[in-house]
Amino acid sequence: MIRGGRIIDPASNRDETGDLLVVDGRIAPLSQLATSGSPPSHIDASGLVVAPGLIDLHVHLREPGQSAKETIGSGTRAAAAGGFTSVVCMPNTSPPVDGPSVVAWIQEKAARDAVVNVFPTGAITKGLVGEELAPIGSMVREGIVAITDDGCCVQNHGVMRRAVEYARMFDLCVMDHCQDTSLTGDGVMHEGYWSTLLGLPGWPSAAEEMIVMRNILLAELCRTRIHCQHLSSAGSVRLLREARSRGIPISGEVCPHHIALTDESLHRYDTNCKMNPPLRTRADIEALIDGIADGTVDILASDHAPHCPYEKEVEFDQAPFGILGLETELGLFIDLLVHRHRAIDLPRLIALLTVNPARLLRLDRGTLAEGAVADITLIDPDLEWTVDREQSFSRSRNTPFHGREIKGRAVRTLVAGKTVWEL
Amino acid sequence: MTPPLPMASASAAVPPPHWTRKDLLGIEELSAEEIVLLLDTARAFKEVGTRDVKKVPALRGQTLVNFFVEPSTRTRTSFELAAHRLSADVVNISVSSSSLTKGETLKDTALNLEALHADIIVLRHASAGAPHFLADRLDASVINAGDGAHEHPTQALLDGFTIREHRGSLAGLRVVIVGDILFSRVARSNIWLLTKLGAKVTLVGPTTLVPRTFEEMGCEVRRDLDAVLPEADVVNLLRIQHERQRREYFPGLGEYIALFGLTKERATRLKPDCLIMHPGPINRGVEIDSELADSGRSVILEQVTNGLAVRMAALYLCAGVGNPANP
């Protein structure tokens, strides 16, 4: 029994102070309390928000093959500490998830090591090289929830079209890392004033927008949903808004760093500010926040991308792209979207982190309705704290937010009714 | 003006009170006063080069490592000679002989150099920001001898020094920089130095190599070299770096010369006292007509001579801060 919290369940339009009963790992009606024999154990949630367990549909758990960066065990512990009860893991591992045996391996490892739900994705193409379709149907049978070549982007539009058409047979979402590599070349940061000043090769916004446009056209042509990952530019939001207004099944996600930092953060060549797509400008941040506020962007994610310190501690252009995200994600979103910019309220924010990703990927999660699996996150939206990377559960330390003061965070995470993390 | 400090008798490397940097990483972060101090110090050192004994003991007992992870002859030689004239011990490490090819990281190589008690590391590196990476991790002074397309501060200092010698001051001068600005660390360092000292900077080159973004750094961007030349007090021609440029940036050298080469015909548009500069190495007949490069208005070899004085000044000032306990 979770008592006295503000229960926010966007899936059922619920926002009220009350008690939540969990019986045998599922949400139960309060009436069941009278019929059950022994008195239930209590969690006092007064002053806290009781939300459905948060879902992050863009996480790199790095297993198999890159366990120096992260493992399913460490990554899911970081997820739990960030308030996430479900993570969708990306297939750019070593070997990549481009066949059923790797999916099965991840499922088995997750059953043993994970403290939150792990939903694997499969590659669109064999080896993530954008040429031949991976055995998508076989991977579906092993439980993938989407396909993506995240980190790479299918450059050949014909191949992408066939992938999207093929995925429709399984009602499977295609997620795309939007990057036209002929435009990015060896770009390592946003192309603009700061790349000019720093003498670093630029990654222009148009390279993302080109593929967002491509995906809109293919979603329209194939009448199948495509999800654009980690949108970073104002132009992408504009394209998405127009397409969605015409009912095209296209969606997009935004990551915390793309609304928290600009390309100016790279002025001292900090490789913890190097990610793909790159940090962009103040105007892009405003457009992304506007897109979140008006519903153009209806999913939030972290792109949690751990890298070892020794990999990041090199010359800027040689460092890998990506930063940690899971443990700072919720705090940054509450701080920036709810408190600072007042772009959305708490129930909307929770929808973007629960029911919306669940619906996109057809996950049986993301609600506190009776009978649902009792994945629950307790949130203190006003708790002020300071990010300390040494406290992270991740195996890596690559965050640009070390030392940042944030208002709002998860304080307790329950998966199927069991507490897996508590502040 | 009286040149400050270092004479042959100077026995201690004590910097003037307002030089506080152990590293010289770029011109961007320097104030106009700091730039002028460097140039004034260089003027005093230039005199040393005219003496019979071209050596002062300012850095005696200090070790300088010339760490060049990208090919260079002239800059490396200039730093080496500058260090010798300051009585420092010099070690040269170039990419072919360094461990980097064996997979050692820049960090480890640098820590090893420091373990050998290197006092000054002069770094040339193909990655922008590499000197900052070292400077943040080492106690030794780090001098940027060119990092990727970012900065080449001593080149800008020697360019500024040369202009100052001829024209007294940079304030109000129109300096035209022609060519591959996008990939040029020389251009960026020059833009900062010239604008900080009050010169007006005009960049000329193809749209692909001179994007308008440079206007945000305080420059004028033009395409019509013929129209710009009559206004120029200085023309600085940058090397077209074949090795860096893929074909997509411009169609070919012939077209480049036709649009942006300083030909003899074009040079007739210049003011009589306009200085012609080039950071070298020259592609004769490409950026500049071969005869013009050898003509009286070309100060290209003076630039080389002045490079020595400027590098002595940079080493002297930074080493003084990096090694406060130096006798």
Q: What is the pLDDT of residues B33-79, one digit of tens each?
A: 999 999 999 999 999 888 999 899 999 999 999 999 888 888 999 99
Mark whether B184 and B290 lie in a shared domain. yes
Q: Is residue B16 situated within a structural domain? A: no
- In total, the C-beta contacts within 8 angstroms joining chain A to chain B are 58
Contact A254, A226 (CB under 8 A): no
Are B292 and B170 in the same domain?
A: yes
Specify the length of chain B in residues: 327
B147 and B46 within one domain: yes
Instruction: Name the helix (H) or strand (E) containing B304.
Output: helix B300-322
Encode pLDDT of A266-292 as tens digits. 999 999 999 999 999 999 999 999 999
Q: Is residue B181 part of a domain?
A: yes
Q: Are residues B144 and B180 in the same domain?
A: no
Distance from the Cα of B283 to chain A's closest Cα (Å) equals 23
List % helix, strand, coil for chain B (3-state, nearest 5): 40, 15, 45
Question: What does the pLDDT read at residue B321?
Answer: 72
Phi, psi (degrees; rounded to nearest 5) at B116: -90, 10
B125: contact with A, CB 8 A cutoff: yes
Q: What is the mean pLDDT of residues B221-239?
A: 96
Q: Where does the pLDDT of residue A304 fall: very low under 50, low under 70, confident under 90, or very high at 90 and above?
A: very high
This prediction has a pTM of 0.93
pLDDT digits (tens, 9 = 90+) for A397-421: 999 999 999 999 999 999 999 999 9
Residue B322: predicted pLDDT: 63
Q: Are residues B257 and B127 in the same domain?
A: no
Overall residue count recorded for chain A in this entry: 423
Enumerate the residues of chain A whose CB falls inside 8 A of the CB of residue B127. 315-318
CB-based contact B188 A200, cutoff 8 Å: no
Q: Is residue B145 very low, low, confident or very high in pLDDT (cuts 50, 70, 90)?
A: very high
Residues 6+ apart with CB under 8 A from A163: A124, A125, A133, A136, A147, A154, A174
- pLDDT band of B272, cuts 50, 70, 90: very high
Same domain, B167 and B207: yes
The answer to whether position B161 is within a domain reads yes
Domain encompassing residue B160: 153-300
Q: Which of A194, A271, A316, A318 to mutate to test the interface with B (most CBs of B within 10 A)?
A: A316
Q: Which of residues 153 through 212 in chain B touch A, CB cutoff 8 A?
A: 185, 188, 211
Q: How confident is the model at residue B1, as a pLDDT?
A: 40
Tell me how many degrees the CA angle B307-B59-B279 measures, rounded to the nearest 5.
Answer: 10
User: Token digits for A393?
Assistant: 């559960």
For A411, the token pair is 């304080």
Kindly state whether residues B124 and B256 are assigned to the same domain. Answer: no
At residue A93, φ and ψ (nearest 5 deg) are -100, -165
Choose the closest CB to A196 out of B127, B148, B214: B214
Average pLDDT on B7-33 reads 76
- Report the range of poorest mean pLDDT among A136-150, B293-307, B312-326: B312-326
Task: Round the average pLDDT of chain A to a whole number and report it.
Answer: 97
Q: Cβ distance A278 to A303 under 8 Å?
A: no
Q: What is the CATH number of domain A53-366?
A: 3.20.20.140
Tell me if chain B has a CB within 8 Å of the CB of A186.
no
Kindly state the average pLDDT of the residues B142-171.
Answer: 97
- Residue B22 inside a domain? The answer is no
Q: Is residue B163 part of a domain?
A: yes
Are B186 and B286 in the same domain? yes
Domain assignment present for B27:
no
Nearby residues of A415 by Cβ (< 8 Å), 6 or more positions away = A53, A80, A85, A115, A116, A117, A375
Are A143 and A107 a contacting pair, CB within 8 Å?
yes
**A173-176 and A226-228 strand pairing:** parallel
Tens-digit pLDDT profile for residues B190-210: 999 999 999 999 999 999 999
Q: Reading across the β-sheet that carries A84-89, which strands appear in turn?
A: A54-59, A84-89, A117-120
My answer on whether B283 and B263 are in the same domain is: yes
Is any Cβ of chain B less than 8 angstroms from the Cβ of A268?
yes
To the nearest whole number, what is the mean pLDDT of chain B? Answer: 89
Q: Token pair for residue A339?
A: 């408190």
pLDDT for B243 equals: 55
> Checking phi first, is residue A8 left (phi over 0); if not, alpha (psi -120 to 50) or beta?
beta
A334 secondary structure, DSSP code: I
Q: Partners of B66 in the beta sheet?
A: B92, B122
CB contact under 8 A, B211 and A268: no
Residue B253: pLDDT band (50, 70, 90) is confident
Looking at the structure, tell me whether residues B284 and B317 fall in a common domain.
Answer: no
Residue A235 confidence (pLDDT): 98
CB contact under 8 A, B127 and A199: no
Please state the domain extents for chain A: 53-366
Quickly state the pLDDT bin for B111 (edges 50, 70, 90): confident
pLDDT (tens digit per residue) in A317-375? 999 999 999 999 999 999 999 999 999 999 999 999 999 999 999 999 999 999 999 99
Bridge partners of residue A203, in order along the sequence: A190
Lowest mean pLDDT among A31-35, A94-98, A321-325, B61-65: A31-35
Cis ω for the linkage preceding A64 (within 30 of 0): yes
By C-alpha distance, which of A376, A365, A417, A364 is closest to A23? A417
Joined together, the tokens standing for residue A312 give 């990041």
Dist CA A268 CA B240 (whole Å): 28
Average pLDDT over residues A229-242: 98
Which residues, 6+ apart, have CB-to-CB distance to A33 below 8 Å? A1, A21, A40
Residue B222 CA to its chain's centroid (Å): 24
Q: Which residues contact B218 (CB under 8 A, 6 or more apart)?
A: B191, B195, B201
Q: Identify the pLDDT of residue B6.
A: 47
Confidence at residue B241, expressed as pLDDT on a 0 to 100 scale? 73
Mean pLDDT, residues A184-207: 97
| Domain total of chain B | 2
User: Which residues in chain B have Cβ-Cβ distances shorter than 8 Å to A187?
Assistant: none
In a domain, B26, yes or no: no
Average pLDDT for A183-188: 96
What CATH number does the domain containing B273 carry?
3.40.50.1370
pLDDT at B99: 61
How many C-beta neighbours within 10 Å does residue A331 have? Answer: 26
Percent share of chain A, pLDDT over 90? 97
- Looking at per-residue pLDDT, the higher value among B241 and B216 belongs to B216
Q: Within a domain: residue B290? A: yes
Q: Are residues B262 and B311 in the same domain?
A: no
